[in-house]
Amino acid sequence: MNPLRLLLKPSARRFFDEADGLGFTSGKKLHGYLYLRWPYLYISLITGEHPLAKLLARGSRWLDRLFPARVENRRKASRARRTGAGIRFADTYHGKVMPTDEAVKLVKIGREVSLTAPETVVPYQLARDIVLKNPDHIVVFDCPCRSARKNPCTPMDVCMVMGEPFASLVLEHNEKRSRRITSDEAVAILKAENARGHVHHAFFKDVALGRFYAICNCCSCCCGAMAAQRHGVEMLASSGYVVHVDAEACVGCGNCASYCQFGALKARERTLQIKTARCMGCGACVSKCPKQALSLKADPCRGMPLLVEDLIKGAAGGQKV
C-alpha cells in the first residue's frame, strides 16, 4: 500500500483501492477523491458561486491571451463533441430522472447489485454502472447546490449517497452536515421532496468509480445540473415517461403548473397545455392535481425508465447481480 494512504480515512482508502482495480489514472483518482471529499467547494466552484470562481475565470482568460492555442484547442474539442466524435461533459456527470415510486424501490432494494444500464436507459457514453455495495448504507447530507446559493430552498438535507465507499466517505469527511439514515427514512425524504414539487435524480459520475452514487432531490432555482440543462448541457436524462392529461377531468386550475420544475405545463383558458419537449417525466405534478387528471405514460422516444428490478431480472451477457 502507498504509505501516504495510511494518512487517509478508511473510506478514502477503500475508494482509492477500488479506483486502482478499475485502472483509474492518478489524475482521475485525485479528481474523484476531491469531489467526494469536498463536495461543497467543488459544486460552488463549478456553479460560479464561490468567490474563487471569478478569480479562476480571470486566470483562465489571462492564459488564453498568453497561449492562443488553448482557445483553438477548446474550439476543436467543442466541434468534436457536436459531431459525436468527442466526450461531452454530460457523458462524465449526469442524472437520470426517476418518478417517486421508482426512487423508493431503489433506496429499498436491499441487495447488492452490479450491472451496467443500457444506453436506452442512461443515454451517455460513460458512467452507466449501477454497483451497490452495502445498499443499506445511506447517508443524507446538505445539498451542495442549495448550500452554494445565497437564498436556498429548504430543507437543506435532501441529497442521499448510497452504498460504499461513497456513503462512508461523505459521512467521515462531513460529519456536521451529514448523517446515516435507514431506507425508511430515505423513503420519507423522497416523499416529502415530491410533495414540494422537487425532482428525484439518480446521479452517475465518471470519477465516482464510473457509476451511480447518489439520489438528489432537485429544484430548478438551486440545482446546478438543472441550470446546466437550461443552458444546453444535456446532463439530465428523461425518466422515459411524459405527463398525460385527461382533458375531460382537467379544469385548468393551473395548480400542477406551479410545481413543474421544467416549465412544461401552462394553464390557459381553463385548459392545460403540455410542452412535451420540456417534460422530463418526473411526475412531480401528478399528485398536485385536485381532479386526478394527470398521469405518467411511457414514451419510448424519450428513452427507457430506470427500473432496477427489471434490469436485474434481465441481466445477462457477463453482467453480475
Cell of 243: 405527463
Q: Is the pLDDT of residue 251 over 70?
A: yes
How many of the other CB atoms lie within 10 Å of CB of 241? 24
CATH 1.10.443.10, applies to 241-301: no
pLDDT single digits (tens) 84-130: 656 788 999 999 999 999 999 999 999 999 999 999 999 999 999 99
Q: Is the pLDDT of residue 68 over 80?
A: no
pLDDT band at 219 (very low <50, low <70, confident <90, very high): very high
User: Which residue has 437520470 as its cell numbers?
Assistant: 96
Going by the DSSP 8-state scheme, the letter that residue 202 receives in this structure is E
Length of the chain: 321
Q: Is 134 exposed, middle or buried (0-12, 13-18, 19+ CB in 10 A)?
A: middle
Q: Is 302 helix (H, G, I), strand (E, B) or coil?
A: helix
pLDDT of residue 71: 61
pLDDT of residue 229: 94
pLDDT of residue 87: 79
CA distance 54 to 313: 49
Q: Which residues have CB under 8 Å from 3's CB, separation 6+?
A: none
CA distance 181 to 172: 14
- Residues 66-81 have a mean pLDDT of 64
pLDDT of residue 76: 64
pLDDT band at 318 (very low <50, low <70, confident <90, very high): very low
Q: What is the pTM of this model?
A: 0.88
**How far lies 151's CA from each of 49, 145, 221, 240, in Å?**
12, 11, 10, 32
Phi, psi of 280 (to 5 degrees): -105, 5
Phi, psi of 205 (to 5 degrees): -150, 140
pLDDT of residue 100: 97
Cβ atoms of 201 and 225 within 8 Å: the answer is yes
pLDDT of residue 21: 96
pLDDT of residue 312: 85
pLDDT of residue 320: 44
Average pLDDT, the chain: 90
More confident residue, 73 or 321: 73
pLDDT of residue 88: 86
Percent of the chain at pLDDT > 70 equals 87
How many of the other CB atoms lie within 10 Å of CB of 154? 10
Q: Is the pLDDT of residue 56 over 70?
A: no
User: Which residue has 479506483 as its cell numbers?
Assistant: 19
Going by the DSSP 8-state scheme, the letter that residue 192 receives in this structure is H
More confident residue, 42 or 281: 281
Q: Is the pLDDT of residue 230 over 80?
A: yes
CA distance 209 to 100: 26
pLDDT band at 240 (very low <50, low <70, confident <90, very high): very high
All CATH 3.30.70.20 domain ranges in the chain, comma separated: 241-301
More confident residue, 128 or 72: 128
Buried b (16+ CB within 10 A) or exposed e, 123-132: bbebbbbbbb
Q: Is 158 helix (H, G, I), strand (E, B) or coil?
A: strand
